[in-house]
Structure 1
């Protein structure tokens, strides 16, 4: 369930908003004149979302590359090549 607070709470109840962000690990939606205005979240949640976005972008690139008709090697072959490179 989303947490929605008026913009005046940023000034009057900042500690409560901060507490919600950290304890619930959810963003708090801030309204101004009854309309959505901004979102406040903990640094931990922000970093987690950024990491997920980066992962999704990398997966998208990998998926695109897998559709190409380039030669592929098995996991066993890859590990073997990596080990031989490390041993050199």
Structure 2
């Protein structure tokens, strides 16, 4: 985990941006010793958002299944998962 004081973003923007882009990891900025902001590469952010969306969709499907609603066949699910993985891996947008 990379933690820096908030002043670092003004003083070392290029260094922080390079770190985020190369590592794919966020930088946590503090203010007065307390967590304040998180800075991350836009590509990593987009990938994270897509994963969260996928998890929400999977949770909704599982909740439907637990309520006894009609679901999808194994083949349909496999096809949807392949499409989601391909989309996330290639950075495609909706």
TM-score (norm 2): 0.71
Equivalence map 1:30-45=2 (5 Å): 30-45=29-44
Relative distance call for 1:73 and 1:23 in structure 2 (3 A) is closer
Pairs aligned (count): 76
Counterpart for residue 23 of structure 1:
22
Partners of 2:72 and 2:35 in 1: CA distance: 50
TM-score (norm 1): 0.76
Partners of 1:32 and 1:73 in 2: CA distance: 49
Structure 2 gap segments, 5+ residues each: 77-94
Equivalence map 1:6-21=2 (5 Å): 6-21=5-20
Structure 1 residue 70, shift from structure 2 partner: 4.0
Give CA-to-partner distance per residue, 1:1-24, whole Å, 9 cap, x none: x00111111111000000110011
Structure 1 gap segments, 5+ residues each: 79-88
Partners of 2:72 and 2:6 in 1: CA distance: 56
SS at structure 2 position matched to 1:66: helix
Larger radius of gyration: 1
Partners of 2:31 and 2:71 in 1: CA distance: 54
Structure 1 residue 51, shift from structure 2 partner: 0.4
